[in-house]
Amino acid sequence: MEELTRRLAAGLPAGAVVVDPDVTAAYRHDMAGFCAAGDPACLVFPQTVEQVQHVLRTASELRVPVVPQGARTGLSGGANAVAGCVLLSLVKMDRILELDPVNRIAVVEPGVVNAVLSRAAAEHGLAYPPDPSSWESCTIGGNIGTGAGGLCCVKYGVTAEYVLGLDVVLADGRLLRTGRRTAKGVAGYDLTRLFVGSEGTLGVVVGAVLALRPAPAPQLVLAAEFPSTAAACAAVNAVTTAGFTPSLMELMDSVMIRAVNQLARMGLPEATKALLLVAFDGPEQRAELARVGELCRAAGATEVVPAEDQAESDLLLQARRLALTAMDTLGTTMVDDVAVPRSRMAEMLDGVAAIGERCGLTVGVCCHAGDGNTHPIVAFDAADPEQVVRARESFEAIMALGLELGGTITGEHGVGLLKREWLARELGETQLELQKQMKGLFDPLGILNPGKLF
Amino acid sequence: MEELTRRLAAGLPAGAVVVDPDVTAAYRHDMAGFCAAGDPACLVFPQTVEQVQHVLRTASELRVPVVPQGARTGLSGGANAVAGCVLLSLVKMDRILELDPVNRIAVVEPGVVNAVLSRAAAEHGLAYPPDPSSWESCTIGGNIGTGAGGLCCVKYGVTAEYVLGLDVVLADGRLLRTGRRTAKGVAGYDLTRLFVGSEGTLGVVVGAVLALRPAPAPQLVLAAEFPSTAAACAAVNAVTTAGFTPSLMELMDSVMIRAVNQLARMGLPEATKALLLVAFDGPEQRAELARVGELCRAAGATEVVPAEDQAESDLLLQARRLALTAMDTLGTTMVDDVAVPRSRMAEMLDGVAAIGERCGLTVGVCCHAGDGNTHPIVAFDAADPEQVVRARESFEAIMALGLELGGTITGEHGVGLLKREWLARELGETQLELQKQMKGLFDPLGILNPGKLF
């Protein structure tokens, strides 16, 4: 271990190698529950590509595992330390290197915070759409590692769709440049996309060329109350089938509504079983909201309230963005992330409610409803071992249900440690074997974030 | 060879194995020039996934190369036969298995023709956007294999963005199912995207889950004439920088304009140096066209003519769609496909003109200008060996220029046989080596479309 830190320090700035366990302890975890974390050998903060190459070369030579990290806002344990590893924090590589309005691209280092990039783009009338809940603190590198989504996806897609090219330091320290700076390109296999969502198991992203798009107009939001989650899902399907493309379509169940009110006194309607928020950002947003309001009523909505203005719209979005934090007030939480075909979402939510009843725990749900991406959140008392077991059981029952309905165990949070036993069930034997072989190809010594994904 | 055809026939329908050289000869080539094609051992037409598995198993056992084919409209020789191969035509697997308006997906076999799917989607008010020039005849499997683009990409993106999941028969005959039917999903490495654009070198696509989107309104087109291609490019950049997202932005140079007029008497303005077509399909299309017209004038346009109605718009689009065919009237043609950053397109076009002059051949250009994707087309007399050499030289000079300007050797046509020597120059040593290793992982015996890409 002394050799490791000595050799790392030789190629890094003063103070960039941290061994103090009081400090490194704070970096052992991301935000996932139920995920083990080992004690790292050290924590390093490189500031340049060459320094990251030095770290990887050293780790390869000494056969020491490397765990890359961003802001550790992940929800699947993908950034958790493994015993004896080098925790490789990219947060000090946080420069926006280019912002090019003519080509609508940004070139960034991995530690740039999502919101910082979004604001820089806005200054040029542009937007970087992916907006995970943690967008004020999460980094672009972490977004790429997990394949992060957000509220915007129903209209603007996920992180993967905005990554044109990557600079990646490979396990042996070589620098790989993938992809392109052009709008289109099909030269060879798409390695860029392979790295997105690979959770640091194939290489360390040290730079990215990202696509930007014109900034949309501010969203106008409609809130509709439903007597059941099924009725709200029917409205979602009606809106989709009618050919609308809202900029946001979010669903919160009654547990979630009460939790948000409790946290922030938002005055959300507590008697309702499901609150659907639908937004548009195009020039016909008022007319679209009116027609969507009619579809909601036809699907059984008891109240349909289009926001009067921007301030009201922002308040509704703020309520939705508080959902995860609000659930934390009800106990320790486990956030699931199951996406199903949009047409099966009603079954999914009924099933989640049944699972909650069966396990006797509070389960609240918010959904990126337009994408069929559900976030059932199990709240429990972590001090009660019996509740912990039931929480874990219900968490897994939710994934099993998602697979049964033709869905995926993770829509946008990733596999990490939390779901690796479930990955095989989703992928099947043939694909799992191929994926492991690909991991072996990029990381023959097995030093890159070992134990994650697989 | 007799053993091969006997064993293939044992698992295929009567008549599905063709050895008659008069027939197979017609299937040896796609539409690329300058690409060698060997004599196949046979041509097979499987109708089911199991039959494709049988073909691959047999080929693996006998170590016989397999070349998958769709409609052979490709422009890089990717579907060309290699000596002694099994030509595996997927055109008889042409069923649309599902078209689901609630989830906005289609599930198709690989031999479905692009236009057939587009029309089927239109019946549900939906669209499958990717629209390569050959869309009336090319197949979805071929589109996936090459990563096809089209005119729509500037607003709606390329084939890759519409492929959610794939069924792939691996070299050894195993069936791999990748991806998902959900809108979002990040479970494991993105193998789906890896297969898109892989030109049949990693596996044979036998089924696809495709994303659909609401059908846009008909496009309204504006035509603007410029005194130089550079002025037209300046207009393109002005339109982009101003935050517009046209549904189409195409540029034709004077050679191309004259060729189209010659072929179809379209009455395009022959005195102009560059014709820019810009279209919008949103509710504010008239207003957008007006503002884009002003930007064109400011960039030096000598004429700006917004189409009066749909019929006029369609005529302009038809003129653009005739470009490739029109060039064929000037001689044998080589179609290049170099994409550069949008901001460098003017330099690219000036450079192409200089190359044309230097080599003394006619070079016309049409561009998907909104994407910086240029199609310089070299016309020459194939009976004159000296012209053939010069055509080849200019074709390569065009790629070299594209790379110099930060572009790619192929925006949407693929590498195939035509550009494989150039792939290494674009990818660099590290990436090329990794890509070859990935090929080896999926195809250890090297039977899948050997000699293509690499």
Strand locations in B174-247 (E):
175-179, 204-211, 213-214, 220-226
Q: What is the pLDDT of residue B300?
A: 98
Q: How far is B282 from chain A (nearest CA, A)?
A: 9
Sign of CA dihedral B352, B357, B361, B366: positive
Q: Which among A147, A187, A237 has the least Cβ separation from residue B409? A: A187
Q: Which among B100, B146, B188 has the least Cβ separation from residue A423? A: B188
Q: Which pLDDT band, with edges at 50, 70 and 90, does B439 fall under?
A: very high
The alpha carbon torsion through B157, B158, B163, B166 (nearest 10 deg) reads: -170
CA-based nearest residue in chain B for residue A157: B184
- Is B449:B65 a contact under the CB 8 Å cutoff? yes
Going by their DSSP bridges, the two strands A66-69 and A86-89 should be labelled as: parallel
Residue located via tokens 């296999």 = A189
Interface test with A, best of B76, B143, B186 (most A CBs within 10 A): B186
Is A240 in Cβ contact with B183 (below 8 Å)?
no
**Which of A255, A299, A259 is closest to A278 using CA atoms?**
A299
The edge-to-edge listing of strands for the beta sheet with B204-211 is B96-100, B105-108, B204-211, B163-169, B175-179
% of chain A at pLDDT higher than 70: 100
Dist. CA B179–CA A97, nearest whole Å: 33
Q: How far is B262 from chain A (nearest CA, A)?
A: 31
Q: What is the pLDDT of residue A1?
A: 65
The alpha carbon torsion through B121, B122, B126, B129 (nearest 10 deg) reads: 80
- CATH 3.30.465.10 applies to domain A96-214: yes
Length of chain A: 454
Q: What is the pLDDT of residue B74?
A: 96
Is A185 in Cβ contact with B104 (below 8 Å)?
no
- Tens-digit pLDDT profile for residues B100-125: 999 999 999 999 999 999 999 999 99
- A71-83 average pLDDT score: 97
**Which of B221, B74, B211, B214 is closest to B138 using CA atoms?**
B74
Q: How far is A411 from chain B (nearest CA, A)?
A: 4
Residue B339 has pLDDT above 90, yes or no: yes
Is A240 in Cβ contact with B406 (below 8 Å)?
no
Dist. CA A345–CA B102, nearest whole Å: 11
Is ipTM beyond 0.95?
yes
Q: What is the fold of B220-404?
A: Vanillyl-alcohol Oxidase; Chain A, domain 3 (3.40.462)
Q: Which among A184, A189, A414 has the least Cβ separation from residue B412? A: A184
Residue B330 has pLDDT above 90, yes or no: no
Which helix (H) or strand (E) segment holds residue A278: the answer is strand A274-280
Q: Which pLDDT band, with edges at 50, 70 and 90, does B34 fall under?
A: confident
Q: Which among B101, B178, B339 has the least Cβ separation from residue A182? A: B339
Q: What is the pLDDT of residue B324?
A: 85
Dist. CA B239–CA A437, nearest whole Å: 46
CA-based nearest residue in chain B for residue A237: B102
DSSP string, B311-339: HHHHHHHHHHHTHHHHHHTTSEEEE--EE
Other C-beta atoms closer than 10 Å to the C-beta of B328 total 14
Is A430 in Cβ contact with B176 (below 8 Å)?
yes
Q: Which pLDDT band, with edges at 50, 70 and 90, does A357 fall under?
A: very high
Dist. CA A306–CA A381, nearest whole Å: 38
Q: How far is A29 from chain B (nearest CA, A)?
A: 21
Q: How far is B409 from chain A (nearest CA, A)?
A: 7
Q: Which residues of B touch A202 (CB under 8 A)?
A: 189
- Tens-digit pLDDT profile for residues B46-69: 999 999 999 999 999 999 999 999
Going by their DSSP bridges, the two strands A126-127 and A105-108 should be labelled as: unpaired
Dist. CA A310–CA B449, nearest whole Å: 56
Is A342 in Cβ contact with B185 (below 8 Å)?
no
CA-based nearest residue in chain A for residue B168: A431
Residue located via tokens 């080596």 = B433
Q: Which pLDDT band, with edges at 50, 70 and 90, does B357 fall under?
A: very high
- Tens-digit pLDDT profile for residues A236-250: 999 999 999 999 999
Q: Which residues of A touch B299 (CB under 8 A)?
A: none
**Most confident of the ranges A1-10, B196-205, B317-326:** B196-205
C-alpha distances out from residue B444 to A414, B170, B171, B436, Å: 30, 11, 8, 11
- B258-272 average pLDDT score: 91
The domain limits of chain B are 96-214, 220-404
- Tens-digit pLDDT profile for residues B67-85: 999 999 999 999 999 999 9
Q: Which among B147, B177, B185 has the least Cβ separation from residue A186? A: B147
Q: Which residues of B touch A432 (CB under 8 A)?
A: 188
Q: What is the pLDDT of residue A34?
A: 85
Residue A210 has pLDDT above 80, yes or no: yes
Is B241 in Cβ contact with A415 (below 8 Å)?
no
Q: Which pLDDT band, with edges at 50, 70 and 90, does A330 fall under?
A: confident
**Six-digit token pair at B96?**
């649309």
Is A244 in Cβ contact with B423 (below 8 Å)?
no
Cβ-proximal residues to B110 (8 Å cutoff; 6+ apart), any chain: B70, B90, B93, B139, B140, B141, B142, B144, B205, B206, B207, B208
Cβ-proximal residues to B433 (8 Å cutoff; 6+ apart), any chain: none
Residue B196 has pLDDT above 90, yes or no: yes
Which helix (H) or strand (E) segment holds residue B274: the answer is strand B274-280
Q: What is the pLDDT of residue A33?
A: 84
- A298-325 average pLDDT score: 94
In Å, how far from its chain's centre is CA B381? 25
% of chain B at pLDDT higher than 90: 96
The alpha carbon torsion through B109, B110, B111, B117 (nearest 10 deg) reads: 70
In the three-class reduction of DSSP (H, G, I as helix; E, B as strand; rest coil), residue B285 is classed as helix
Residue B266 has pLDDT above 90, yes or no: no
% of chain A at pLDDT higher than 90: 96
Q: Which residues of B touch A125 (CB under 8 A)?
A: 243
Q: Which among A191, A245, A341 has the least Cβ separation from residue B434? A: A191
Other C-beta atoms closer than 10 Å to the C-beta of B354 total 13
Cβ-proximal residues to B175 (8 Å cutoff; 6+ apart), any chain: A430, B49, B53, B167, B168, B169, B206
Q: Which pLDDT band, with edges at 50, 70 and 90, does B1 fall under?
A: low
Q: Which pLDDT band, with edges at 50, 70 and 90, does B337 fall under?
A: very high
Dist. CA A440–CA A117, nearest whole Å: 34
Q: What is chain B's mean pLDDT, rounded? A: 96
C-alpha distances out from residue A224 to A257, A266, A348, A372, Å: 13, 16, 20, 18
Dist. CA A194–CA B368, nearest whole Å: 27
C-alpha distances out from residue A101 to A124, A127, B238, Å: 7, 10, 10
Question: At what angle are helices A285-298 and A229-241 packed, to 10 degrees?
Answer: 130
Q: Please, is A123 exposed, middle or buried when counting C-beta atoms within 10 Å of its C-beta (0-12, 13-18, 19+)?
A: exposed
C-alpha distances out from residue A83 to A36, A41, A87, B161, Å: 10, 7, 10, 39
- A434-448 average pLDDT score: 98
% of chain B at pLDDT higher than 70: 100
Dist. CA A214–CA B63, nearest whole Å: 52
Q: Which residues of B touch A415 (CB under 8 A)?
A: 186-188
Q: What is chain A's mean pLDDT, rounded? A: 96
Which helix (H) or strand (E) segment holds residue A251: the answer is strand A248-253
- Tens-digit pLDDT profile for residues A102-138: 999 999 999 999 999 999 999 999 999 999 999 999 9
Residue A368 has pLDDT above 80, yes or no: yes
- Tens-digit pLDDT profile for residues A21-72: 999 999 999 999 889 999 999 999 999 999 999 999 999 999 999 999 999 9
Q: What is the pLDDT of residue B134?
A: 93
Which helix (H) or strand (E) segment holds residue A438: the answer is helix A420-442
Q: Which among A105, A153, A188 has the least Cβ separation from residue B435? A: A188
Q: Which residues of A touch B341 (CB under 8 A)?
A: 103, 105, 181-182
Q: Which among A181, A182, A428 has the least Cβ separation from residue B411? A: A182
